[in-house]
Amino acid sequence: WGEARVFASVSADGSVRIFDLRDKEHSTIIYESPHPDTPLLRLAWNKQDLRYMATILMDSNKVVILDIRSPTTPVAELERHRGSVNAIAWAPHSSTHICSAGDDTQALIWELPTLASPTGIDPMCMYSAGCEINQLQWSAAQPDWIAIAFANKVQ
């Protein structure tokens, strides 16, 4: 969810759509995958700055950061995972921190700069679970805690 009465979704057609509940007949496509027929799997809306959201493509090592004011063009692409990304979560206490986790057994915490460097953005912190990470959640009550799910465990 973004602001009141507005939500976004990702779909198998590779698009991110924003809906306004006041006008249910229409939606706005703000991003389409550059790879035809590649579904988008997850969407995370930045709770501190509602202009930003992140999404992941199926079987991709990339996290795509979007600014709804600049549709179609990603603000940043985070590409340091060595396997497919399965989960993303924005920090509930910060507009510039996001965590991603994936098949490479890693949970990466990123700090997004104002402008992306031409060589890409490196994660500021990395944790290895020893097994593919399927899901994660950043604690709103304890902002220093991130829960990850892997191999029938939560850590």
How many C-beta atoms lie closer than 10 Å to residue 127's C-beta? 15
- Whole-angstrom Cα distance, residue 1 to residue 52? 12
Residue 63 lies in a domain: yes
CA dihedral 2, 84, 62, 113 (to 10 degrees): 70
Structural domain containing residue 125: 37-154
Q: Which of 15-24, 66-75, 131-140 has the highest mean pLDDT?
A: 131-140
Side chain identity, residue 124: M
Is the pLDDT assigned to residue 3 strictly greater than 80? Answer: no
The pTM (predicted TM-score) of the whole model is 0.92
- Listing from the earlier edge strand, what are the strands of the sheet with 106-111? 85-90, 97-102, 106-111, 125-128
Residue 21 lies in a domain: no
Residue 94 lies in a domain: yes
Predicted pLDDT at 151: 94
Residue 102 lies in a domain: yes
Is the pLDDT assigned to residue 114 strictly greater than 70? Answer: no
Buried b (16+ CB within 10 A) or exposed e, 87-124: bbbbbbebeebbbbbbbbbbbbbbebeeeeeeeebebe
Contact 43, 33 (CB under 8 A): no
Q: pLDDT grade, residue 5 (50/70/90)? A: confident
Q: What is the CATH number for 108?
A: 2.130.10.10
Is the pLDDT assigned to residue 85 strictly greater than 70? Answer: yes
Residue 98 lies in a domain: yes
Predicted pLDDT at 72: 84
pLDDT tens profile 19-57: 998 888 889 999 999 988 899 999 999 999 999 999 999
- Listing from the earlier edge strand, what are the strands of the sheet with 27-32? 6-10, 15-20, 27-32
Domain count, the chain: 1
